[in-house]
Amino acid sequence: MQPTLLILAAGMASRYGSMKQIQGFGPNGETIMDYSIYDAIRAGFTKVVFIIRKDFAEDFKNIFEPKLKGKIAIDYVYQDLRSFTGDYPVPADRTKPWGTAHAVLCARDAIREPFAVINADDFYGRDAFEKAYGFLTKQVNASTYCIIGYELAKTLSDNGTVSRGVCEVDASDNLISIAERTKIYEENGKITYEENDKKFEVPFDSKVSMNFWGFDPSVFGYTEKMFHAFLREQGTNPKAEFFIPIIGDKFIKNGDGKIKVIPTGAKWFGVTYKEDAPEVQASLNALIDKGEYPKSLWR
């Protein structure tokens, strides 16, 4: 059974200020998602599922369906505030979706096979997709998931601080924990993060999560149980979010299984800030000049 690629594209892009998921960055208006899908197809993925919002579904489909038709199977899932909430009353002041783990749960009825999860607005590189495909076709099971680990130094922005999930990994490349570090930046030859008005150094080669996960479909049942617990405990907080690392942390600490950290030397890039856009375009052009991608992906 060939794995599926699940793309999280329902975010509101609050820091970026526009719908960056469908912004063109390639020479022919290709989005970052186009490059991810292209790499996934080359690696062996045969289906892509988009998690999107209903209010821009028509525009989204008009962009992607013409160029992907006949190249990979496509499905759509809508993340709605009331999806999988059961009898729980959604607070009137809740406007944002419940978070990335809830987004994954919304895809339960669309996916029956092992699958990878990525963000729509992150460029991950061909190596990451090939390694994820290898894991999902040979190693994944109900007690073994994976995360692609990037070198922290290759995930920074020149235009502001970033937040990263810094991974603690054991000698067998199993994830021990993910610590969310905010306000990370490079300064005076060191990488630093700030917390409670204090600065802490982080090694350049620390492995970090860029939200590229590999799961067995059994994760859906596991996630639904945790989501209901999350609603009972934090559902009245309008800013509380149910993130994928919450699932991973519980999975490990409860002894339900292990999460392999698969290292990649690929350079990540993305558009956290509007000022990142020219750098993303330049990075893509450099890869095209090296012959890693054609000038027109889908021609």
Let me know if residue 199 belongs to a domain. yes
pLDDT for the residue numbered 90: 84
Let me know if residue 180 belongs to a domain. yes
**How many C-beta atoms surround the C-beta of residue 142 within 10 A?**
14
pLDDT for the residue numbered 11: 65
Let me know if residue 297 belongs to a domain. no
pLDDT for the residue numbered 148: 97
pLDDT tens, residue by residue, 228-266? 999 999 988 888 889 998 999 999 999 999 999 999 988
Range of the domain at 202: 4-289
| Angle separating helix axes 32-43 and 126-138, nearest 10 degrees | 40
pLDDT tens, residue by residue, 126-143? 999 999 999 999 999 999
Report the mean per-residue pLDDT for the chain: 90
Let me know if residue 132 belongs to a domain. yes
Let me know if residue 186 belongs to a domain. yes
Highest mean pLDDT among 20-34, 103-117, 268-282 belongs to: 103-117
In the 3-class helix/strand/coil scheme, how is 114-165 assigned residue by residue? Answer: CEEEEECCEECCHHHHHHHHHHHHHCCECCEEEEEEEEHHHHCCCCCCEEEE
pLDDT band at 118 (very low <50, low <70, confident <90, very high): very high
14-28, 58-72, 279-293, range with the lowest pLDDT: 14-28
pLDDT for the residue numbered 93: 85
Q: Which residue has the higher pLDDT, 123 or 196?
A: 123
Q: Which residue has the higher pLDDT, 294 or 57?
A: 294
Mean local confidence (pLDDT), 267-287 = 87
Cβ(46)–Cβ(68) under 8 Å?
no
Let me know if residue 266 belongs to a domain. yes
What is d(CA 35, CA 214) in angstroms, rounded to the nearest whole number?
A: 19
pLDDT at residue 46 greater than cutoff 80 = yes
pLDDT for the residue numbered 259: 98
Let me know if residue 72 belongs to a domain. yes
Let me know if residue 296 belongs to a domain. no
pLDDT at residue 201 greater than cutoff 60 = yes
pLDDT for the residue numbered 16: 38
Mean local confidence (pLDDT), 203-216 = 93
72: domain CATH number is 3.90.550.10
pLDDT band at 20 (very low <50, low <70, confident <90, very high): low
pLDDT band at 95 (very low <50, low <70, confident <90, very high): confident
pLDDT tens, residue by residue, 135-174? 999 999 999 999 999 999 888 888 888 888 899 999 999 9
Count of the separate structural domains present in the chain = 1
